[in-house]
């Protein structure tokens, strides 16, 4: 006479099994490790492993594991302090051809990893590291655009032989460019010319006094919005490139809102190092090429060190082949307006379209007219400032790296717009476009907030968090069992599974576990029991009103359900609002709460109903233990 359908038992069993399996990886804590990756074509083999082992032994750094996994070498350590010391030792022993990164190596068994079960990533407050919030200066983007358009309008008017008195940016940012002309006829000619040449500008006639005819050209608001979006995307991409060079494993670089970027680097304890890389200044130089990458002359120069006096020897990014580049600079990153990747209509191969500003275009035109068929190289220059103490004073020492990111043959005469074709694949094209734009970092960035969390504090927080969860859970389990007897015990089983399923879902989605997230878990546990309290109180009521035990259970669940649904939906609305609050501690808490409410509705109602039906199902009952 069970009123609980069989398929629901199957569902409950299935979900519980699934919950256990996907929550399981969290029982295997990751170990602090150091990851070594070879760069510049250096080998990574048993000899490197031996070198690392020798260096660690010589410095008396104890390690618990050392192995080559795929393309990198991983060494495990007992705690974060040893890990940090070991990273320094390994860095010193291997030199510049290897990147050494701090990491947390997973100890999850292979069969769990095979079904994509993994543990929750830990937030910075649980594993230590640095957190930056970067604010992108959107004003600078508007400034740059308006300055460029002023420049372009000047050369356009000259080109069209329209006499003008002045072309200047209006005093207020975003108010456009003011053009002063000498006659109404000139003004309409200028207006037409600007409107056809630059569709992104809105041209309006202004007031005219005497022989001053004013024309205002302002950038369309939708274009500005588009620019702002492109800027932050580009800044995020540039940051990602630079941070990858830093060798931090799994950095978090995320756009937040319209003008902020969050950067979280786990394991990094020295913010100065990270800031240096983030604050690097990159630029581009278009230069005349001498030969191509891997040319015999370049190889010879690289081997002997005899570089021709009018040339520089650089290496090509990615392939590391030497290339000779003329010292003569044609155009620089400042003059690059836009670079975007696409597909060449004629050949169907990937390409990158480049737009230069008026001044850059003129120089490019002059150069290409005389050099068709010759190579042209793009050199990427990145400057990082090191702070050094010299004679007790802080001195900023620039440290510059240069590499060739593109080397192509000039196919024809071009100026303002041109394209680079013959790229191997679309990925390469988009990478090149990104690098070109990165060379003219779209907008300056400020560090709006930063925090540095020590590794021992992370350990401490994990322990405290775990203790709070277990104690909170234990106390509620005890209280429920005492107050509601058998029904309380059933609720306890459900509550325990609620924790398991909550952890499983969080692990599957990949929610980063933080301290506020743990607070959310504890709160969820405390509130999940509410549904069971509602059910138990209802069952008691029904019994008091003279219902038979089976009828009391059925009516209790039925009547409580409407209440549980209403209460949880309103609660869900609150949790949803929390998740929209940026990416800080509030969001972590909100996401946990949101998932917790959903899982608790299932465990508190369906799971307890299944167990209750299983216990009381086919027996004749005189009383209920509630």
Partner 1 sequence: MEIFNHNSNVPFLHWRKISIVIAILLMIASVGLLLTRGLNYGLDFTGGISVEVKYDHTIDIADVRKALDQAGIENPVVQSLGGSRQVLIRLQPKGDGKAGAAAPGEGASARADKVAASVMAALKKERPDAVENSHSFVSPQVGDELKSDGSIAAIFVIIGIGVYLWIRFERRFAIAALATEVHDVLVTLGVISLVQREFDLTVLASVLAVIGYSINDKVVVFDRIRELFRLSRKAEPEEILNRSINTTLSRTIITSLFTGITMAALYFFGGPQVHGFAITMLIGIVVGTLSSIFVASPILLWLGVSKKDLMPQTKDNPELARRP
Identified binder of partner 1 from the candidate list 88, 456, 558, 619, rule CB under 8 A: 456
Closest CA to 145 of 203, 223, 71, 91: 223
> In the numeric block, which tokens belong to residue 562?
């409407």
CB contact set of 158 (below 8 Å; sequence gap of 6+): none
Q: Is 149 helix (H, G, I), strand (E, B) or coil?
A: helix
Within 8 A by CB and 6+ apart from 23, the residues are 500, 501, 503, 504, 507
Q: Smallest gap, in angstroms, from Cβ of residue 490 to partner 1?
A: 15
In the complex, least distance from residue 221 CB atom to partner 1, rounded to whole angstroms: 23
Give the separation between CA 225 and CA 200, rounded to whole angstroms: 12
Asked if 540 is part of the footprint of partner 1 (rule: CB under 8 A), the reply reads: yes
Write the binding mask 97 to 136 for partner 1: x where contact by CB under 8 A, - elsewhere. ----------------------------x------xx-x-
Nearest distance from C-beta of residue 170 to partner 1, angstroms? 22
325 binds partner 1 per the rule CB under 8 A? no
Least distance to partner 1, CB of residue 372, Å: 44
| Angle in degrees, CA 307, 310, 315, rounded to 5 | 50
Told to check if 268 binds partner 1 by CB under 8 A, we report no
Which H helix or E strand runs over 385?
strand 375-390
Residue 55 touches partner 1, criterion: CB under 8 A = no
Q: Closest approach of Cβ 415 to partner 1, in Å?
A: 37
Smallest gap, in angstroms, from Cβ of residue 156 to partner 1?
36
For residues 260 and 368, which CB has a smaller minimum distance to partner 1 in the complex? 260
**Contact residue for partner 1 among 195, 446, 617, 619 (CB under 8 A):** 446
Among 279, 342, 415, 426, binds partner 1 (CB under 8 A): 279
Q: Indicate which single residue of 472, 489, 547, 602 sits in contact with partner 1 (rule: CB under 8 A).
A: 472
Residue 381 sits in the site that holds partner 1 (CB under 8 A): no
The residue among 203 and 513 lying less far from partner 1, judged by its C-beta, is 513
- According to DSSP, the β-strands at 201-209 and 212-219 are antiparallel
**Site string (509-528) toward partner 1, x via CB under 8 A:** ------xx-xx--xx-xxx-
* Total residues found in the chain within this entry: 626
Q: Which stretch binds partner 1 (CB under 8 A): 177-185, 239-247, 340-348, 444-452?
A: 444-452
Question: Angle of helix 138-159 relative to helix 358-370, nearest 10 degrees?
Answer: 60
Bridge pairing between strands 322-332 and 375-390: unpaired
Interface region with partner 1, contact rule CB under 8 A, candidates 234-242, 322-330, 426-434, 450-458: 450-458
Burial of residue 126, with CB atoms counted within 10 A of its CB: 0-12 exposed, 13-18 middle, 19 or more buried = buried
Question: Binding to partner 1 by residue 448, rule CB under 8 A?
Answer: yes
Give me the residues paired with residue 289 across strands: 325
Kindly determine how many residues on this chain lie close enough to bind partner 1 according to the rule CB under 8 A. 78
Which of 425, 427, 483, 617: binder of partner 1 (CB under 8 A)?
483
Query: How far, in Å, are 313, 325, 326, 327 from residue 309 at the CA level?
Result: 10, 11, 9, 9
Is residue 93 within 8 A of residue 52, CB to CB? The reply is: yes
Using CA atoms, how far residue 602 sits from 108, 531, 598, in Å, is: 28, 10, 7
Least distance between partner 1 and beta carbon 566 (Å) = 5
Q: Does 584 bind partner 1 (CB under 8 A)?
A: yes
Q: Please, what is the minimum distance in Å from the beta carbon of residue 522 to partner 1?
A: 5
Q: In the complex, what is the shortest distance from the CB of residue 442 to partner 1, in angstroms, rounded to a whole number? A: 16
Q: Is 66 in the site for partner 1 (CB under 8 A)?
A: no
Binding flag, residue 85, partner 1 (CB under 8 A): no
Query: Which residues, numbered 555-574, are part of the site for partner 1 (CB under 8 A)?
Result: 559, 562-563, 566-571, 573-574
On whether the CB atoms of residues 160 and 193 are closer than 8 A, the answer is yes
- Considering the rule CB under 8 A, would residue 482 count as an interface residue with partner 1? yes
Residue 246 binds partner 1 (CB under 8 A): no
Q: How far is CA 135 from CA 257, 258, 448, 527, 591, in A?
A: 10, 9, 6, 38, 25
Residue 219 sits in the site that holds partner 1 (CB under 8 A):
no
């Amino acid at each position: 006479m069970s009123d609980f359908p069989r398929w629901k038992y199957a569902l409950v069993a299935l979900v519980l099994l699934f919950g256990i399996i996907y929550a399981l990886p969290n029982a295997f804590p990751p170990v602090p490790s150091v990851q070594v990756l070879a760069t510049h074509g250096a080998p990574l083999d048993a000899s490197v492993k031996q070198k690392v082992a020798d260096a660690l032994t010589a410095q008396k750094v104890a390690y618990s594991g050392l192995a080559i996994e795929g393309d990198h070498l991983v060494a495990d350590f007992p705690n974060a302090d040893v890990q940090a010391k070991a990273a320094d030792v390994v860095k010193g022993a291997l030199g510049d051809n290897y990147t050494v990164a701090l990491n947390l190596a997973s100890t999850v068994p292979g069969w769990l990893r095979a079904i994509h079960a993994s543990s929750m990533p830990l937030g910075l407050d649980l594993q230590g590291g640095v957190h930056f919030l970067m604010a992108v200066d959107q004003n600078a983007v508007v400034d740059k655009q308006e300055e460029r358009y002023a420049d372009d309008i000047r050369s356009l008017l000259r080109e069209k032989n329209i006499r003008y008195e002045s072309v200047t940016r209006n005093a207020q940012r975003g108010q456009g460019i003011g053009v002063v002309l000498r006659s109404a006829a000139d003004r309409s000619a200028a207006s037409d010319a600007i409107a056809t040449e630059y569709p992104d500008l809105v041209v309006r006639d202004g007031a005219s006094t005497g022989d001053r005819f004013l024309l205002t050209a302002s950038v369309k608001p939708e274009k500005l919005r588009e620019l702002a979006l492109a800027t932050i995307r580009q800044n995020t991409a540039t940051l990602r490139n630079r941070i990858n060079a830093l060798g931090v494993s799994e950095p978090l670089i995320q756009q937040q809102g319209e003008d902020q970027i969050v950067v979280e680097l786990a394991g990094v304890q020295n913010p100065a190092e990270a800031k240096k890389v983030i604050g690097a200044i990159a630029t581009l130089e278009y230069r005349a090429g001498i030969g191509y990458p891997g040319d015999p002359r370049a190889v010879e120069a690289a081997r002997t060190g005899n570089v021709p006096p009018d040339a520089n020897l650089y290496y090509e990014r990615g392939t590391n082949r030497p290339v000779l580049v003329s010292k003569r600079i044609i155009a620089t990153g400042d003059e690059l307006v836009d670079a975007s990747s696409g597909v060449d209509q004629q050949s169907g191969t990937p390409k990158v379209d480049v737009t230069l500003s008026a001044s850059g275009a003129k120089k490019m035109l002059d150069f290409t007219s005389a050099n068709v068929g010759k190579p042209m190289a793009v050199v990427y220059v990145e400057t990082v400032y090191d702070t050094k103490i010299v004679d007790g004073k802080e001195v900023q020492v620039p440290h510059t790296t240069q590499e060739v990111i593109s080397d192509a043959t000039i196919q024809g005469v071009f100026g303002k717009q041109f394209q680079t074709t013959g790229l191997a694949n679309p990925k390469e094209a988009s990478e090149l476009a990104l690098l070109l734009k990165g060379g003219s970092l779209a907008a300056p960035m400020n560090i709006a907030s930063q925090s540095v969390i020590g590794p021992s504090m992370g350990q401490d927080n994990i322990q405290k968090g775990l203790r709070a969860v277990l104690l909170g859970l234990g106390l509620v389990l005890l209280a429920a069992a005492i107050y509601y007897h058998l029904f309380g015990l059933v609720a306890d089983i459900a509550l325990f599974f609620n924790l398991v399923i909550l952890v499983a879902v969080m692990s599957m989605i990949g929610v980063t576990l933080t301290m506020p997230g743990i607070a959310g878990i504890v709160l969820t546990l405390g509130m999940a029991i509410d549904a069971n309290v509602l059910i138990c109180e209802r069952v008691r009521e029904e019994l008091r009103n003279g219902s038979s035990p089976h009828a009391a259970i059925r009516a209790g669940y039925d009547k409580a359900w409407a209440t549980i649904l209403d209460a949880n939906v309103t609660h869900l609305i609150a949790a949803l609002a929390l998740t929209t609050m940026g990416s800080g501690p509030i969001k972590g808490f909100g996401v946990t709460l949101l998932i917790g409410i959903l899982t608790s509705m299932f465990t508190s109602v369906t799971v307890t109903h299944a167990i209750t039906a299983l216990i009381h199902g086919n027996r004749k009952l005189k009383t209920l233990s509630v």
